[in-house]
Structure 1
Amino acid sequence: MIVQIAGNVKFPITLDPTVWIFDDRKKTFSEVFEGEEIKPEFTEEDELKRQSTRFDREVYQQKINPPVNKSINRYEKQRILKGTFLMPLQPFLHTSEPAPDVKRAILVTDNSEETIDAEELADSLLLFAEDGKPLQEKGPVHLYFKDGSNQSAPIKGIKKIVLQ
């Protein structure tokens, strides 16, 4: 259930899509392709109060109480359990630092290889969860182009991305 980014990169990396469910960069399928926006249940004032409380806890009570991880509210929990999520590929490609002369990418799947333009890859998204569960069949990720041109036929079963 991992995906490798290798080839003409400074830092080959291994991605674990099963942990992306907790990543704030994830987007729902409907956000990306239907233009739907998720409205947070809190206001800017609530965020300010939360930051103030966190500051007080860190500054004044750090020696008394250990830090506590942010809990997931009910809305976010339901969203995670039922959502279909995509992750932008750009941040991971940026981290791997591809060489300036990289022009194409080979997507190695279970039984074939697909070649796409490197710029098109950078603007792509990876589907990693469907109905709140990791992709089991033809997983670990499916690649969708940002413009939605392959929405009905994504590239499935990607195991490795080789930049050339």
Structure 2
Amino acid sequence: MESIILISGKVKYSITLDPSVWIFDDRKQELHSFFHDEKEEIDTLEEYTKEVSKHWDREIIEGAIVPPTLKTEKKFIKEELITGTFCIPFKPFLKNAEVHEDARYLIIVSNDGEVKLPLEIAEEMVLGFSKDGKPLREDGPVHCYYRDGSNFNNPIKHVKEFRIE
């Protein structure tokens, strides 16, 4: 149970987070590329249209058969999952908890004490949950990273709870 983290306080729904299942979440990102790549807002409709167009073009060129490259792509994805260092955005969890309008701060409760952050900064935070394909058992279950990367080398560790005030 030590890997479960609670979001509580000024929220409509107190929720629990289980980082051990995030490896299967589509929102996960490679941690190092998250801080080193340029971020741009993605228009989901435009992205969908591009993907459908690529698929359509491929079917026209190659036919409706499954090309042999798909097997190697699956192997690459599996290799990436068992060796990667991943994070997940914190904002969707705050959205699901439905933070009250009068809430202003996030308190991160850890073994090392408490860290108080304005909600604007907390919404942009990411939670690291694996390193080199392994869960963060020794100093986890998650590491909290600010969006600007200012604490990349010294993230908030040993997180036990997120409390909204």
Q: Which residue of 2 aligns with 1:10?
A: 12
**Aligned counterparts, 1:71-150, within 5 A:** 73-150=74-151
Counterparts of 1:163 and 1:127 in 2: how far apart (Å)?
20
Which secondary structure state, in structure 1, belongs to the residue aligned with residue 103 of structure 2?
coil
Judging by fraction of residues, say which structure has more helix: 2
Say what the alpha-carbon RMSD is for the aligned residues: 2.3
Counterparts of 1:17 and 1:110 in 2: how far apart (Å)?
18
Counterparts of 1:80 and 1:44 in 2: how far apart (Å)?
25
Aligned-partner residue type, residue 44 of structure 1: K
List per-residue Cα deviations over 1:14-62 (Å, max 9, x = no partner).
000000001010000122112189xxxx99327986xxx9xxxxxxxxx
Counterparts of 2:23 and 2:76 in 1: how far apart (Å)?
14
Q: Which residue of 1 aligns with 2:48?
A: none
Aligned-partner residue type, residue 83 of structure 1: G
Residues 30 and 36 of structure 1 are in contact (CA less than 8 Å); yes or no, is this contact kept in structure 2?
no
Which secondary structure state, in structure 1, belongs to the residue aligned with residue 94 of structure 2?
helix
User: How many residues are matched?
Assistant: 139
Give 5+ residue unaligned stretches, structure 2.
40-50, 65-72
Counterparts of 2:80 and 2:103 in 1: how far apart (Å)?
37
Which secondary structure state, in structure 1, belongs to the residue aligned with residue 159 of structure 2?
coil
**CA 78–46 in structure 1, closer or farther in 2 if over 3 Å, else same:** farther
Residues 5 and 13 of structure 1 are in contact (CA less than 8 Å); yes or no, is this contact kept in structure 2?
yes
1:23 to 10, 25, 30: 25
**Aligned counterparts, 1:48-59, within 5 A:** none
List per-residue Cα deviations over 1:112-163 (Å, max 9, x = no partner).
1111111111100000000001001111001001110111111111110000
Aligned-partner residue type, residue 121 of structure 2: E
Q: Which residue of 1 aligns with 2:153?
A: 152
Counterparts of 2:57 and 2:147 in 1: how far apart (Å)?
31
Which secondary structure state, in structure 2, belongs to the residue aligned with residue 79 of structure 1?
helix
Aligned-partner residue type, residue 54 of structure 2: E
Counterparts of 2:112 and 2:31 in 1: how far apart (Å)?
26
Identity %: 40
